[in-house]
Amino acid sequence: MQALKNIALVAHDNRKKDMIEWVEWNFAILASHTLICTGTTGTLVEQALADKVKGTDIFDKETKIIKLRSGPLGGDQQLGAMIAEGKIDVLFFFWDPMQPQPHDVDVKALLRIAVLYNTPTACNRATADFMISSSLFDKEYQAIVKDYSEYLTRKL
């Protein structure tokens, strides 16, 4: 992955406030990267960053924000496909462990594919803070991806 990253941002309804507060706190770091967001989270992130950047001379260009479908309408699956294609470098997914989700199978599939492709993933604010403050965050990094081809050739 390059120094400038493709960062996925996802938040369930009960965690959107946490995500937006986190984005506002880290806007100076996030603004130089491409942000890929699901549904409403993308609109909220876009508004939060516009408010933070407005009136500053910190940035010469607008932050690139790509908005996918809402999670329950396929956004989680879109992100999973992007991870499999190598188009996502880091995933920040503030999910709600206390609220049943109508698309729970998609949520599990997204988390599974992130682990499968060794994508750095934060599922809570503390982990997100550690990841974004890591000395590796703004550098090139080569993640080691396990070769699962043996699973394809195994006989059951």
pLDDT in tens, 118-146: 999 999 999 999 999 999 999 999 988 88
pLDDT interval class at 99 (50, 70, 90):
confident
Structural domains of the chain sorted by starting position, each given as residue range(s) with its CATH number in brackets: 6-153 (3.40.50.1380)
Tell me the C-alpha distance between 59 and 12, whole Å: 29
Model pLDDT for residues 36-54, shown as the tens digit of each residue:
999 999 999 999 988 887 7
> What is the pTM (predicted TM-score) of this model?
0.89
Query: What is each CA distance from 132 to 16, 60, 124, in whole angstroms?
Result: 18, 22, 12
Look at phi and psi of residue 154 and say left if phi exceeds 0, alpha if psi is from -120 to 50, else beta: beta
CB of 135 within 8 A of CB of 29?
Answer: no
Tell me the C-alpha distance between 71 and 101, whole Å: 10
Q: Residues 89-96: what's their mean pLDDT?
A: 96
At position 124, the amino acid (one-letter code) is: N
Q: Is the pLDDT of residue 12 over 70?
A: yes
The H or E element containing residue 36 is strand 34-37
pLDDT interval class at 60 (50, 70, 90):
very low
Mean pLDDT of the residues in the chain: 90
Q: Residues 8-13: what's their mean pLDDT?
A: 96
What's the DSSP call for residue 32? Answer: T
Which residues are catalytically annotated?
A: 76
